[in-house]
Copies of this chain bind each other. A is one copy, B any other.
Amino acid sequence: MNTPSTKADDILRCARTLIVRGGYNSFSYADISGVVGIRNASIHHHFPSKADLVRRLVAQYRQEAEAGLTELERNVADPLEQLRAYVGYWEGCIADASHPFCVCAMLAGEIPVLPEAVAVEVRAHFRGLSAWLASVLERGVAEARLTLTGSAGDNAEIFMATVHGAMLSARAYGDPGMFGAITRPLLQRLAA
């Protein structure tokens, strides 16, 4: 299961970086062709339209996210540590500025102007992430590792929203440390 780094993958990876920077309408085919080393029109061979490109990009992102969480569950047993690892992953991404924003959080803000096919994928990511968080929280309560006020589902939504808001604040202030400053108390509160 190696990755021969095809042009299509290069295009997806480049587009992802561009979306993370400024969203759906902030990049063009020209931006991609320059970086990937392919002609503008050739992108259409792999992705008929921009909507299709981004739809598949988000689908791939969701798949990777799901795979990442599955592996996280395999490597880390404790629910609280799982949450810490999840937050820590993003803390790292923001600190080294590699992917300092969630693709779907970025696109979610633009949903009113997004192609419906893309919006569907974005919504699916939110639901999937929320469901995973809820399951972790639920197990954490069952194992007496963390205590909640309210349902696991409600707390999952709060958790997710706070993480997204922390990304936004880190970007707004231009201060990577802001993400940790907001998410650390979130984790501490659950651990109590």
Chain A residues packing against B (C-beta within 8 Å): 21-26, 101, 104-106, 108-114, 122-123, 126-127, 149-150, 154-155, 157-158, 160-166, 168-169, 171-174, 178, 181-182, 185-186, 188-189
Most buried by B among A126, A154, A155, A182: A182
A109 x B161 contact (CB < 8 A): no
The verdict on A162 contacting B158 (CB below 8 Å), with A21-B113, A109-B109 known, is yes
Most B Cβ at <10 Å: residue of A168, A174, A181? A168
Q: Is the CB of B110 within 8 A of A185?
A: no
CA distance A23 to B162 in the complex (A): 21
Residues in B whose Cβ lies below 8 Å from that of A149: 185, 188-189
Q: Given the known A-B contacts A106-B109, A110-B22, are A169 and B160 also in contact in the complex, defined by CB atoms under 8 Å?
A: yes
The A interface is mostly helix, strand or loop, or mixed, namely: helix
B contact residues around A22 at 8 Å (CB): 25, 110, 112-114
Q: What's the number of copies of this chain in the assembled complex?
A: 2
Q: Which of B111, B127, B161, B181 contacts A157 (CB 8 A)?
A: B181
- Which B residues are CB-close (under 8 A) to A188? 149
Sample of 16 more A-B contacts, CB < 8 Å, known A25-B25, A157-B169, A164-B168? A104-B172, A105-B109, A105-B168, A108-B171, A109-B168, A109-B171, A111-B172, A123-B172, A126-B169, A155-B185, A157-B181, A158-B162, A158-B182, A160-B165, A162-B162, A165-B168
Q: Which residue of B lies closest to A21 (CB)?
A: B112
A126 to B171, CA, bound (A): 11
Q: Select A23's contact among B110, B168, B178, beta carbons within 8 Å.
A: B110
Q: Which B residues are in CB contact (< 8 Å) with A109?
A: 23, 101, 105-106, 109, 168, 171
User: What residues of chain B lie closer than 8 Å to A171, measured between beta carbons?
Assistant: 108-109, 111-112
Instruction: Known A149-B189, A150-B185, A185-B158; judge A172-B25 contact (CB<8 A).
Output: no
